[in-house]
Structure formats: structure tokens, C-alpha cells
Amino acid sequence: MFAEIRKRLTLFNTTLTGLFLILLMAVCFFGLKVVFYLEGSQEVIMYGREESEESVDILRHALHHQNQTVEQSPDDDGMFVYIYDLHQKLIQWEEPYPELNSQVESIIKNWKLPEDRAKEIIISTTKAKHIFMMSSHGVYDNGRQVGWVYVGEEVTAYNNMANVFLGTLFGIGLVFLIAVYFIGNIMANKAMGPIYQSFERQRQFTADASHELRTPLAVLLSSTEAVITDQESKMSQFATQTLSDMKDEIKKINKLVANLLTLARTDAEGQKIICEEFDGIKVIREAVNSLMILAVKKNIGIDLKGPATLMIFADKERIYQLIYILLDNAIKYTPDQGQVIVEAGRKEHDNFYILVKDTGIGIPAAEQKRIFERFYCVDQMRSREQGGAGLGLSIAKWIVDAHEGLINVNSLPGQGT
């Protein structure tokens, strides 16, 4: 139990730290991307303004030499410049990657961003992917616009740097997360140490007290039965009824002590299951016969459904205890003249199922998740009247869990469980 709690606590702390690291990495990465974007935008806008001033003479010369062909000037600084007149005729261009010319011109033709504004564009080739920060600027001669200049600066290196930074952050975060997991496991062990010791003392006390109470309770029960069955003693009807009530209460206490001892042993993981092959239907019939007197008193019919034999491999004693608990609950909480059905059968992969269905008072939906908790009773007053302490279903769940099975409940108030 404590190992599972420690595991959940460690996983919770690690998950929480992991989410914080992811958030931190996202903030750092996108923060760096924004810084690079703003820096690249500012640089390309400043460069564009300079180019627009220098392009005035080029456009003047082009205006006087209408038939001059487009000039290309080599550029090796990672910047491209395209100069157009007002008729969108390309006058001159500088491009570090001539193979990108047609793609850049296509982008310029569809350019809609206002001047002195920049945006990131991606141009891919068979060899590589290039990322540019691009902007457009008007070219003015004495206050009159004579053309356009489009400039771009390659920021692929910045993008790669951001990706390397993200990868580094991820690597550091992963190492840190692994360290947090192991440190969290150690810290959870230390934090749970006092809790475990307190629980162990409580468990030991419960086990010792339950064990010590069994002998005097057995003596009380046998003595009470001996007095009741003594033919020579002459007792009043009141005394006889009092002894009978005492006998019933001793049986209830005996059952409670046995249940407490069982749970104390399961907490210490000292209660092991011993599997063997046996007929499950025969064990179910034995449990039904043990409770038949209780069912007859309330005029409750018990119907057994299933094959003639059902060979299963499990702990015979515990399966009997499981069926007894479920049947006992069903009979207790079913009104007089009700019906209880016990069904068993085979499922896939040699698994088997046991179904106990009653026409009792039912369990509210909000309470169904808690019925397997220790000492939990849906109706405290009714449970006391029936002699229940809220331990039976806890033991039933342990038996099923020990067999690596599944136990669940379906119920509607007033219709049954």
C-alpha cells in the first residue's frame, strides 16, 4: 500500500515539475524567437531604407535608358535586393542565391505588406531551406515616388540557433526530470517514514488486540451456549432471552475481531493466497447453505444459476469467504420476501465470474465509489442494526485483488444491487 502511495506521490511531483519545465522551455524558446524576429525585422527595415536612398540614381538612369536590360549584381552578404519601377518592371537585383530568383519574384508579385514593415518568408530548394526576413520600401526622388525596392536578409542561422537552443533545453530538462524523479522518490520515502511507523504501530496493535480477544470471546460464546442448553437450570424467560441476545452480540464481536485480524494481516502482506483447483459451484452451495437460516428467517429466496460444475484455480477458503460476504450483505439489505440470485460461469482465458444480485434497498450512485473503504457504511444506523461494521466489502476487495481480479457494483436505489 505504501509503495503504491510513494509511487503515485513521486509520479505526481515529477509530472508537475515536467509541466513546469515544458512551460519554461516554451517561454524561453518563443522568447528567443521573438527577440530574433524583432532584431531581424529592425535590421532589414534599416537596410531597406538605406537601399531605397541609394536606388534613386539607378531608377533615374533606368528612366533615361528605357531599353536597358535588367542588371544583376552579385551579393555575398546574405542579403537580396530587388529594384522595381512604378510599372513593376525589374530594374536591378542582387541575390546571394540566384536559383531563388524566380521564387522571390513570385513573392514580390503577391506582396501586400505596407512599406517599412517586415515579415518572415521561407523558400525551399532541393538542397536546403532558406528563411529570410523581407520588407518593401518606396523609392522617392524629390518627394515623388519613382519605384520600389524589396530587400531581404537571411535569418536561417538564427532559426537554427533557436532550434539548437531548444534541443539543449530539452536535453537539460530531461536530465533534470530524471534527477527530480529519483530525488523525489528519496524524499517521499523520508516524508512517509513517520506515517509508515505510525501505521505499523496501529496495525500491530489491531492485530495483537484482535488475536488476544479471540480466546476470551470463544470462552464467552461457549459458556453462554452451555448455559442456554443446560436442561437442569431453571431460568426465567427474561434470563433466557438475555443470554440469547448476549450470544448474538458475542458472535457479532467475534466476526468483527476476525475481520480486523484479516485486514491487519493483509496490511502486513502476511496474508497470502494458496491456490488449488476445486469446484466453484460446490463452494457457492456451501456458502448458500451456511446462510440459508438467515434467508429463511426473512423469507428470502436464494437462486443459484450456473453450470453443474465449475473447476477453478484459486484460494478455496478465500473464495468461500468472498461469496459468504457478498451473500451476507445481499440478505441483510434485502427486505422480507425478497430475492437473491447467485450466478457463476466461465469467461475468456480461463477466468471465471461470480455475480450476486438482490432486490434490496440499493446504493445511491454517490456512495458506490466508497463502499469498498474500511468502516464505511452507507446507512450507519441500519448497519448497526444488522451487525455490520463496514469491513466485509473491504475484505472482499482484498480477496479479489489478491487473485488479480476485478470487483465492481451496479445498483439503483429501491431496485437492488
Fold of 1-164: Beta-Lactamase (3.30.450)
pLDDT for the residue numbered 16: 86
Q: Which residue has the higher pLDDT, 152 or 99?
A: 152
pLDDT for the residue numbered 265: 63
Which segments of the chain belong to CATH 3.30.565.10? 273-403
User: Rounded to an integer, what distance in angstroms lies between the CA atom of residue 198 and that of residue 115?
Assistant: 74
Per-position b or e across 231-250, b if 16+ CB within 10 A of its CB? eeeeeeeeeeeebeebbeeb
Residue type present at position 211? H
User: Rounded to an integer, what distance in angstroms lies between the CA atom of residue 153 and that of residue 159?
Assistant: 13
User: Rounded to an integer, what distance in angstroms lies between the CA atom of residue 229 and that of residue 231?
Assistant: 6
Around Cβ 26, how many Cβ atoms within 10 Å? 12
Which segments of the chain belong to CATH 3.30.450? 1-164
Is the pLDDT score of 68 beyond 60?
no
Distance from chain centroid for Cα 122:
40
User: Rounded to an integer, what distance in angstroms lies between the CA atom of residue 151 and that of residue 82?
Assistant: 6
pLDDT for the residue numbered 191: 72
pLDDT for the residue numbered 224: 78
pLDDT for the residue numbered 268: 58
CA of 50: how far to CAs of 47, 74, 132, 224, in Å? 5, 18, 18, 111
Domain 273-403 -> CATH class: alpha beta
Closest CA to 135 of 158, 156, 111: 111
- Whether residue 329 contacts residue 287, with contact meaning beta carbons closer than 8 Å, is answered with no
3-state secondary structure of 248: helix
Is the pLDDT score of 279 beyond 90?
yes
User: Rounded to an integer, what distance in angstroms lies between the CA atom of residue 279 and that of residue 350?
Assistant: 14
Q: Which of 37-41, 65-69, 136-140, 357-361 has the lowest mean pLDDT?
A: 65-69
In this prediction, residue 282 has a pLDDT band, given cuts at 50, 70 and 90, of very high
User: Rounded to an integer, what distance in angstroms lies between the CA atom of residue 66 and that of residue 300?
Assistant: 111
Closest CA to 259 of 325, 204, 315, 212: 325
What does the pLDDT look like over 370-388, one tens digit per residue? 888 877 776 654 445 555 5
* H-helix or E-strand spanning residue 326: helix 316-332
In this prediction, residue 82 has a pLDDT band, given cuts at 50, 70 and 90, of very high
User: Rounded to an integer, what distance in angstroms lies between the CA atom of residue 412 and that of residue 364?
Assistant: 7
User: Rounded to an integer, what distance in angstroms lies between the CA atom of residue 226 and that of residue 237?
Assistant: 16
Residue-wise DSSP of 182-210: HHHHHHHHHHHHHHHHHHHHHHHHHHHHH
Q: Which residue has the higher pLDDT, 309 or 186?
A: 309
User: Rounded to an integer, what distance in angstroms lies between the CA atom of residue 410 and that of residue 391?
Assistant: 19
Tell me the average pLDDT across 187-192.
Answer: 74
User: Rounded to an integer, what distance in angstroms lies between the CA atom of residue 28 and that of residue 33?
Assistant: 9
